[in-house]
């Protein structure tokens, strides 16, 4: 069969693929920091970030806000509670639900990691000018819908 009969996919120009490369590269670079410094996985950090912003939510709500599945959240929480970074209580009116918030130790880590994450964000997107950043925001907005 002649090659000319085929239409190979130009992976290197394929948008979903390029998006995933860029995204993974950036995420991993950021994660590398707190993974080694705080023995904190990316999923754990995401959970902590949500709890920093929305204290006293349930595990389900954490899952929703992180776009992670509930199994991942359950495991991240188990580790975070065990290491004393998150406090888990039971909801007064619904004993199935947990009520989650950062402990003092959790806040300490949060307050070190959050500015670093923001600094990384700034650094990565510094190659873009203001106009490009604005477009990127707008584009991500549309793609998420």
Partner DNA sequence: ACGTTATAGTTTCACTTGAAACCATTTGCA
Partner DNA sequence: TGCAAATGGTTTCAAGTGAAACTATAACGT
Contact positions toward DNA, by CB under 7 A? 41-43, 58-61, 68-75, 77-78, 93-98
Parallel, antiparallel, or unpaired for β 86-90 and 98-102? Answer: antiparallel
How many residues touch its own copies (CB under 8 A)?
Answer: 57
Measured from the CB atom, is 88 or 120 closer to its own copies?
Answer: 120
Q: Is 73 in the site for its own copies (CB under 8 A)?
A: no
Q: H helices within 2-129, ranges in order?
A: 15-38, 42-53, 59-66, 70-82, 104-124
Question: Closer CB to its own copies, residue 98 or residue 109?
Answer: 109
89 binds, among its own copies, DNA, none (CB under 5 to 8 A by kind): none
Residue 142 interacts with, from DNA, its own copies, none (CB under 5-8 Å by kind): its own copies
Is 32 a binding residue for its own copies by CB under 8 A? The answer is: no
Tell me the C-alpha to C-alpha distance, in Å, between residue 21 and each of 11, 133, 136: 11, 19, 16
Could you give the CA distance from residue 66 to residue 5 in angstroms, rounded to a whole number? 45
85 interacts with, out of its own copies, DNA, none, CB within 5 to 8 A per kind: none
CA proximity to 40, closest of 86, 89, 96: 86
């Amino acid at each position: 069969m002649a090659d000319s009969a085929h239409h190979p996919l130009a992976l290197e120009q394929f948008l979903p693929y390029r998006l995933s490369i860029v995204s993974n590269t950036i995420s991993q670079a950021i994660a590398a920091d707190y993974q080694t410094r705080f023995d904190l996985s990316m999923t754990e950090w995401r959970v902590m970030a949500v709890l920093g912003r929305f204290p006293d939510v349930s595990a389900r709500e954490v899952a929703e806000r992180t776009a992670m599945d509930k199994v991942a959240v359950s495991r991240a929480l188990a580790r975070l509670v065990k290491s004393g970074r998150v406090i888990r209580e039971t909801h007064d009116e619904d004993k199935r639900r947990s009520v989650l918030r950062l402990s003092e130790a959790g806040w300490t880590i949060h307050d070190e990691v959050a500015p670093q994450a923001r600094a990384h964000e700034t650094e990565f997107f510094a190659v873009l000018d203001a106009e490009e950043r604005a477009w990127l925001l707008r584009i991500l907005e549309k793609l998420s819908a």
